[in-house]
Chains A and B, each alone.
Chain A
Amino acid sequence: MGECGLSTAGRTTRPRAVPELHVPHSRVGVSALCPCSQEPSPDNEGALHSSFCQLIEEQSSLVAGPSALLPSLDPIASTGLEPEQGEQHPGYATTLRILANMPSRTIGRSRGAIISQYYNRTARLRRRSSRPSLQQLNRTARPSLRQFDLESDPAHATLADKQSLLAKELLSLPPAQRSQVLMEVPLSLEEKRSLRMPSLCPHPPQGCRTLWYRFLALVHAAQPWHYALKQISGRFGSSVLSYFLFLKTLLLFNIISFLLLLVFVVALQAAYPPAVASPPPFTGLELLTGVGSFTHSLLYYGYYSNTTLNDPSASSPSGSTSPSRATQLPYNMPLAYMFTIGASFFATCILLMYSMYHSFLKSYRVGSSTGVLAIKIFSAWDFKVVQRHSVKLQSENICTQLKELLAEQRLRSCPLSLPQRLRHITVLLLAWLLALGTVLGCVVAVYYFSEHMHTVSTQEGVLLALPLIVSLLNTLMPHFYNLLAAWEKQDSPAAEVYVAILVLGLLCYQWLSRRLICSCWETCVGQDLYRFVVMDFIFTLLDTGFGELLWRLILEKKLKSKRRPEFDIAQNVLELIYGQTLTWLGVLFAPLLPAVQVLKLLLLFYIKKTSLMQNCQSPSKPWQASHMSTVFITLLFFPSFLGAAIFVSYTIWWEKPSETCGPFRGLQTIYQTPKVWVELLEESNPNIAWFSWIPQYLVENTVFLFFLSGIVLAVIYFNIQVLRGQRRIICLLEEQIANEGEDKKFLIQKIHSIYDRKVPRGKCWGSAGMESHCAPLLRAGAGGWE
Chain B
Amino acid sequence: MGNKQTIFTPEQLDAYQDCTFFTRKEILRLFYRYRDLAPQLVPLDYTSKPNVTLPYELIGSMPELKDNPFRQRIAEVFSESGDGNMTLDDFLDMFSVLSEMAPRDLKAYYAFKIYDFNNDDYICKSDLEKTVNKLTRNELTPEEVSLACEKVIYEADLDNDGKLSLEDFQHMIIRAPDFLSTFHIRI
Contact = CB atoms under 8 A, between A and B. Distances in A.
A217 interface: yes
Given A217-B1, A391-B68, A625 B17 contact: no
Interface residues of A, number: 86
A626 B178 contact: yes
B174 to A, nearest CB: 7
A364 B180 CA distance: 12
Query: Main SS of the interface on chain B?
Result: helix
A756 interface: no
Interface string B156-186: 1011111101110101111111111111111
Contacts of A364: 177
Given A75-B124, A188-B93, A381 B135 contact: yes
B24 to A, nearest CB: 5
Interface stretch (A325-333, A495-503, A735-743): A735-743
Interface in A375-405: 375, 377-384, 386-388, 391-392, 395-396, 398-399, 402-403
Query: Main SS of the interface on chain A?
Result: helix
B20 A377 contact: no
B155 A217 contact: no
B58 interface: no
Residue with the greatest number of chain B CB neighbours at <10 A, chosen from A192, A200, A392, A742 = A192
Given A75-B161, A100-B121, A182-B19, A409 B185 contact: no
B110 to A, nearest CB: 7
Interface in B109-157: 109-113, 115-116, 120-122, 124-125, 128, 131-132, 135-137, 139-140, 144, 147-148, 151-152, 155-156
B185 A370 contact: no
B43 interface: no
Given A106-B121, A184-B105, A737-B158, A220 B179 contact: no
A353 interface: no
Contacts of A76: 161-162
Interface in A15-67: none
Interface in B23-50: 23-26
A368 B158 CA distance: 14
B80 interface: yes
A363 B176 CA distance: 8
A43 B29 CA distance: 68
Contacts of A371: 155-156, 172, 175
B89 A398 contact: no
Nearest to B185: A383
A208 interface: no
Contact residue range for chain B? 35 or more
B80 A383 contact: no
B46 to A, nearest CB: 13
Given A108-B165, A186-B109, A371-B156, A402 B23 contact: no
B184 A384 contact: yes
B1 A214 contact: yes
A78 interface: yes
B75 interface: no
B59 interface: no
Given A76-B162, A391-B68, 13 more contacts: A79-B161, A105-B121, A182-B19, A375-B178, A377-B152, A378-B176, A379-B176, A386-B67, A395-B69, A398-B136, A409-B151, A734-B158, A741-B161
8 contacts: A213-B17, A220-B26, A381-B182, A382-B182, A384-B184, A627-B178, A740-B159, A741-B160
Interface of B: 1, 11, 14-21, 23-26, 63-70, 80, 89-90, 92-93, 96, 98, 102-103, 105-106, 109-113, 115-116, 120-122, 124-125, 128, 131-132, 135-137, 139-140, 144, 147-148, 151-152, 155-156, 158-163, 165-167, 169, 171-186
